[in-house]
Amino acid sequence: MSWLRRNLFSSWPSALATLAILWLALRTLPPFLDWAILEAVWRAPDPRACREAHGACWAFVTEKHRFILFGTYPFEQHWRPALASALLIALWIYSSLRRSWNRGLPLVWLAGLALIGVLMWGGVPGLPYVENERWGGLILTLLLASFGIALAFPLSILLALGRRSRLPVLRAACVGYIELIRGVPLISVLFMASVMLPLFLPAGASIDKLLRAQLALILFAAAYLAEVVRGGLQAIPRHQYEAAEALGLSYAQTMLRVVLPQALRLSIAPLVNTFIGFFKDTSLVLIIGLFDLLSTIKVSLQDPAWSGFGVEAYLAASLLYFVFCAAMSAYSHTLERAGPDKLLARS
Amino acid sequence: MKARGLALQAALAAALALLAWWLYSNAAANLAARGISSGFAFLWREAGFEIGETTFAAYSAADTYLRALAIGLANTFRVAAIGVVLATLLGSLVGLARLAPNWLLARIAAAYVETVRNIPLLVQLFFWYAVITDSLPPPAEALEPLPGVFLTNRGIFFPLPGDVPQLSGFNFSGGAALTPEFAALLIGLTTYTAGFIAEIVRAGILSVPRGQVEAARSLGLGRRAELRHVLLPQALRLMVPPMTSQYLNLTKNSSLAVAIGYPDLVSIANTAMNQTGQAIEGVAVIMAVFLTISLSISAFMNWYNRRSALRGLAA
């Protein structure tokens, strides 16, 4: 009772706001629940049941879930992208644990990505070959984001070091690259990869569409990550550099053994935030015609029998993306709360 | 050490020049093989496609590509300008609501921020577009939430002074109309960016030391005077840089218009590229326009930071 008084009715404006919110909730929630749950159609072999009902047509999602999750990957091989997705998610969870932040982590990633490559492409006994034009759905979103970040990260460290270098040509090249990419929308970088890049390759050479999009995402992410890494580098006090110099360490030794291990640990929370943005941004590959998670949902809606259920379809898409992004954002909050001392501590 | 640095830089410059030359010669050979003449001469040729909606200027299919791109740029500016204003208003309201003493209001604002920030903007745009085109009724059964405002699957209609939308035939005429594409893009950009602005507003207000608020209270200032004369002037100084970068993001994000068919600069450049094959020029136009916007805004930011630093107020 005292909680209610303090938090909902502390003053006249507050009490009015509480009443207004309750009134709005009473007006909107019952019809919404009717639509979303009570009168919704959950399973239906054909869309007529949906068209007759007044509620949401979740049957669209249950009917199309295989295509939404796996795209045009051969139907009887769907366990492969499913297993690959689970492996990728496991890799992410493993990397989020503080005790796995060491030199072994890149090796674990290398092994994991190689295993996923074998699983997805196949071509070994027992696994028929599947060309990457047929990859689609959730695994494509996860792969674009994972490979994108895994390859952009080393590049971004080089760019950040270059931007802080004392050599003017190197610094100008890195600043120019970072500011150019950050100044233009991602879609123009994707256009560059999808329509411009083929023109820049020697006659006869070609890179397929998926790899071109992946390349664009790597180049794009590297510029944003470089700024985060630069922030971490700036947080390292001068005396650390001076101590390294006094010990007679070379530039490479100073960076690899003293500065980077601390700078990267300090920038993990902003790195996760950048990654959330990047994960969301992978949905833009739809515009250049790749079959990511959002794209398979959009294509499912083009089936004339099931057209007109866009609201349900995009709510389902929102929920899927939300689960991934909210988990990562909760993780970055715990890191921020842990504070720099805990992040720097060796485990 | 010095010699090594010079050698390293010379090698880098040479490698970049070599790369540029290699790309250039490949492109020249490819364009020659495909019979595409490079350069911007195509801008003065007839575009030959219609544009769904135009801002400020008239356009017909007989106009040039240059004019089509200018119309696209005007459309980009229109959605970005309105979006910036609305996102600032909504974002400030949500940010203040998160700090409100009312628990229910603060929780709802927090849930709003978490929701819009954790879902890709493109999904939200498709969602709003589907809400308008799939779930709003046709014009004959239009919803009228306020007198003279009509929500239909053909767009949203507003009354202007002395000019109320009227149902004529299959659609409304008169008043001001928002096409479904424009409405979806505007709602999506506004609600998405407001989620980020709300956090900036909240952080800005929280950054003002508590002592300032207590001082204002002990001077006997009311809640409103305290906000206006003590909190906001100090919070705004910290909020301006991140706000500008959100405005820039909103402008860059308006390029997602291409996915729902609003004719902004990017979607018109995309059509032009598909028709003429001038991919390099098309991408160059898009990048040049956005770079100009970004660089002018960062120039403004640097000027602003210097100015507030001179007054000795910004740390």
Closest CA to B124 of B178, B54, B59, B195: B195
Place of tokens 């005292």: A2
What pLDDT was estimated at residue B155?
A: 86
What pLDDT was estimated at residue B137?
A: 86
Q: Which of A185, A294, A310 sits opposite B134 (nearest CB)?
A: A310
Which residue in B has a C-alpha nearest to residue A324's C-alpha?
B118
Q: CB A191 to CB B131 under 8 A?
A: no
Class at the top of the CATH hierarchy for domain B65-310? mainly alpha
For residue B180, the chain A residues in CB contact (below 8 A) are: none
Cα distance between residue A9 and residue A191, in whole Å: 54
For residue B135, the chain A residues in CB contact (below 8 A) are: 311
Closest chain A C-alpha to B133 CA, distance in angstroms: 9
Q: Token pair of B30, please?
A: 């490819």
Residue A240, φ and ψ in degrees, nearest 5 = -65, -45
Question: What is the band of A101 on the pLDDT scale with cuts at 50, 70, 90?
Answer: confident
What pLDDT was estimated at residue B127?
A: 95
pLDDT at B313 over 60: no
Q: Any idea where the domains of chain B sit in the sequence?
A: 65-310
Q: Provide ipTM, 2 decimals.
A: 0.90
A252, B40, B72, B242 from B278: Cα distances, Å: 44, 9, 17, 36
Q: What is the mean pLDDT of residues B184-213?
A: 93
Q: What is the DSSP string of A151-211?
A: HHHHHHHHHHHHHT-S-HHHHHHHHHHHHHHHHS-HHHHHHIIIIIHHHHSPTT----HHH
What pLDDT was estimated at residue B311?
A: 56
Residue A127, φ and ψ in degrees, nearest 5 = -125, 100
Q: What is the mean pLDDT of residues B293-312?
A: 77
Which residue in A has a C-alpha nearest to residue B253's C-alpha?
A185
B114 close to A (CB below 8 A): yes
Q: Which of A186, A192, A322 sits opposite B118 (nearest CB)?
A: A322
pLDDT tens digit sequence for B100-120: 888 899 999 999 999 999 999
Q: CB B23 to CB A187 under 8 A?
A: no
Q: What is the mean pLDDT of residues A111-132?
A: 88
Question: What is the band of B309 on the pLDDT scale with cuts at 50, 70, 90?
Answer: low
For residue B122, the chain A residues in CB contact (below 8 A) are: 283-284, 286, 294
Q: Which residue has the higher pLDDT, B93 or A54?
A: B93
Which residue in B has a C-alpha nearest to residue A278's C-alpha?
B120
What pLDDT was estimated at residue A91?
A: 92
Question: What is the band of A207 on the pLDDT scale with cuts at 50, 70, 90?
Answer: confident
Q: What is the mean pLDDT of residues A307-311?
A: 84
Q: What's the mean per-residue pLDDT of chain B?
A: 88
Cα distance between residue A298 and residue A300, in whole Å: 5
Q: Which of B119, B127, B286 sits opposite A311 (nearest CB)?
A: B127
Q: CB B135 to CB A311 under 8 A?
A: yes
What pLDDT was estimated at residue A282?
A: 94
Q: CB B294 to CB A184 under 8 A?
A: yes
Closest chain B C-alpha to A201 CA, distance in angstroms: 6
Q: What is the mean pLDDT of residues B158-163?
A: 82
Q: Token pair of B70, please?
A: 């200018």
Q: Rg of chain A over CA atoms, in angstroms?
A: 25
**Cβ distance B200 to B242 under 8 Å?**
yes
Which residue in A has a C-alpha nearest to residue B258's C-alpha?
A287
B105 close to A (CB below 8 A): yes
Q: Which residue has the higher pLDDT, B197 or B311?
A: B197
Measured torsion, CA atoms of residues B174, B148, B152, B262, in degrees rounded to the nearest 10: 60
Cα distance between residue A268 and residue A42, in whole Å: 41
> How many degrees, rounded to 5, is the angle at CA A76 between CA A75 and CA A79?
95
**Cβ distance B264 to B71 under 8 Å?**
no
Closest CA to A103 of A233, A331, A256, A228: A256
**Cβ distance A148 to A109 under 8 Å?**
no
Q: CB A11 to CB B104 under 8 A?
A: no
A284 close to B (CB below 8 A): yes
Q: Which of A180, A199, A203 sits opposite B280 (nearest CB)?
A: A199
pLDDT at B209 over 90: no
pLDDT at B315 over 80: no
Closest CA to B187 of B130, B123, B124: B124
Q: CB A184 to CB B291 under 8 A?
A: yes
For residue B8, the chain A residues in CB contact (below 8 A) are: 167, 170
What pLDDT was estimated at residue B49?
A: 85
Q: CB A280 to CB B105 under 8 A?
A: no
B141 close to A (CB below 8 A): no
Residue A221 parent element (H or E)? helix A209-234
Place of tokens 């505007």: B186
Q: CB A183 to CB B294 under 8 A?
A: yes
Closest CA to B26 of A201, A212, A204: A201
What pLDDT was estimated at residue B314?
A: 42
B295 close to A (CB below 8 A): yes
Q: Which long-range contacts (CB under 8 A, 24 or more apart) does A63-69 make?
A: A63/A306, A64/A297, A64/A300, A64/A303, A64/A306, A67/A137, A67/A296, A67/A299, A67/A300, A68/A137, A68/A138, A68/A293, A68/A296, A68/A297, A68/A300, A68/A316, A69/A137, A69/A138, A69/A139, A69/A293, A69/A296
Cα distance between residue A313 and residue B294, in whole Å: 35
What pLDDT was estimated at residue B119?
A: 96
Instruction: Indicate the pTM of the whole model.
Output: 0.90
Q: Which of residues 254-273 of A touch B (CB under 8 A)?
A: none
- Report the range out of A120-134, A232-246, B151-165 with the highest average pLDDT: A232-246
Q: Token pair of B159, please?
A: 């009354």
pLDDT tens digit sequence for A209-239: 899 999 999 999 999 999 999 999 988 888 9
CB atoms within 10 A of CB B266: 29
What pLDDT was estimated at residue B131?
A: 92
For residue B193, the chain A residues in CB contact (below 8 A) are: none
Q: Which residue has the higher pLDDT, A30 or A344?
A: A30
Q: What is the mean pLDDT of residues A279-303?
A: 91
Q: What is the DSSP string of A10-48?
A: SSHHHHHHHHHHHHHHHHHHHHHHIIIIIT-B---SSTH
Q: Which residue has the higher pLDDT, B35 or B257?
A: B257
For residue A191, the chain B residues in CB contact (below 8 A) are: 270, 273, 279, 282-283, 286
Which residues pair with residue B146 across a beta bridge? B149
Q: What's the mean per-residue pLDDT of chain A?
A: 88
Q: Which of residues 70-89 of B touch A (CB under 8 A)?
A: none
Q: What is the mean pLDDT of residues A57-81?
A: 87
Q: Which residue has the higher pLDDT, A84 or A125?
A: A84
**Cβ distance A69 to A137 under 8 Å?**
yes
Q: CB B123 to CB A10 under 8 A?
A: no
Cα distance between residue A262 and residue B294, in whole Å: 32
Q: Which of residues 298-317 of A touch B (CB under 8 A)?
A: 298, 308-311, 313-315, 317
B120 close to A (CB below 8 A): yes
Q: Token pair of B180, please?
A: 């479904």
pLDDT tens digit sequence for B32-90: 888 777 788 888 888 888 888 887 788 888 889 999 999 999 999 999 999 999 999 99
pLDDT at B310 over 60: no
- Report the range out of A100-104, B27-31, B96-100, B185-189 with the highest average pLDDT: B185-189
Full set of structural domains in chain A with CATH: 73-344 (1.10.3720.10)
